[in-house]
């Protein structure tokens, strides 16, 4: 099981797709807001997207109270969430979920970009996640690299992916 990546390949922070320097942007007739939220705010969307066949408590992490939680809201409705857990100069992000009805609109991309920017501002040097195999291509667009063999958690295939936030600053 992947706990932390053993090697992380370079990630150019200049590769971030910058939609806006502000936390709120406007799309045609839509107000998009990126902000820190409470752990409790993530749970309904985590459950709906990631583990709908499980009990709602299945998506509650034991260390949720210690994490930083971010959300993307469209016209005030939470449509994408991610949680960040810092350990020194590295951090793991977990439970990244975008409402299935809202996928393909770039909201997950915007939220991941926002979270990376927050991590950089906190001085985090390495960022990693246990990614579902079906999402590898999405994370590779941000320069993340697989750093483990495929492993299973709760019947789903995962791989550890990471990136070095200090490379090519």
Can you give the pLDDT at residue 17? Answer: 34
pLDDT at 28: 63
In a domain, 76, yes or no: yes
Q: Give the tokens for residue 106.
A: 């770039």
Residues 160 and 67: their CA atoms lie apart, in Å, by: 19
The CATH number of the domain where 81 resides is what?
3.40.630.30
Note whether residue 2 is domain-resident.
no
**Domain presence at residue 79:** yes
In a domain, 146, yes or no: no
Q: Is residue 153 part of a domain?
A: no
Please give the model's pTM, rounded to 2 decimal places: 0.81
- Number of compact structural domains in the chain: 1
- For every residue of 42-103, DSSP letters joined together read HHHHHHHHH-TTS-GGGG--TTGGGSEEEEEEETTEEEEEEEEEEETTEEEEEEEEE-GGGT
Q: Classify residue 104 by its DSSP letter.
A: T
Q: Is residue 108 part of a domain?
A: yes
**What is the residue-level pLDDT of the chain in tens, covering all 169 positions?**
344 333 322 223 333 333 333 344 545 678 899 999 999 999 999 999 988 898 888 888 889 999 999 999 999 999 999 999 999 999 999 999 999 999 998 999 999 999 999 999 999 999 999 999 999 999 999 999 998 889 998 888 999 999 899 875 5
Whether 148 is covered by a domain: the verdict is no
- Structural domain of residue 51, as residue ranges? 17-124
Is residue 129 in a domain? no
Transcribe 115-167 into DSSP letters: HHHHHHHTT--EEEEEEEGGGHHHHHTTT-EE-S--EEETTEEEEEEEEETTT
């Amino acid at each position: 099981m992947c706990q932390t990546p053993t090697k992380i390949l370079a990630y150019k922070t200049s590769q971030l797709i910058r939609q806006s320097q502000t936390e709120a942007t406007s799309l045609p007739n839509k107000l998009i807001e990126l902000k820190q939220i409470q752990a409790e705010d993530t749970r309904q969307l985590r459950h709906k997207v990631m583990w709908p066949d499980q009990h709602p408590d299945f998506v509650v992490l034991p260390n949720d109270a210690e994490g930083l939680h971010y959300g993307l809201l469209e016209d005030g409705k939470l449509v994408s969430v991610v949680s960040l857990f810092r350990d020194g100069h590295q951090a793991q992000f977990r439970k990244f979920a975008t409402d299935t009805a809202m996928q393909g609109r770039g909201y997950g991309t915007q939220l991941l970009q926002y979270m990376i920017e927050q991590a950089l501002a906190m001085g985090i040097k390495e960022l990693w996640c246990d990614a579902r195999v079906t999402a590898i291509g999405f994370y590779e667009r941000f320069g993340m690299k697989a750093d483990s063999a495929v492993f299973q958690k709760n019947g789903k295939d995962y791989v550890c992916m990471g990136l070095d936030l200090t490379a090519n600053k």
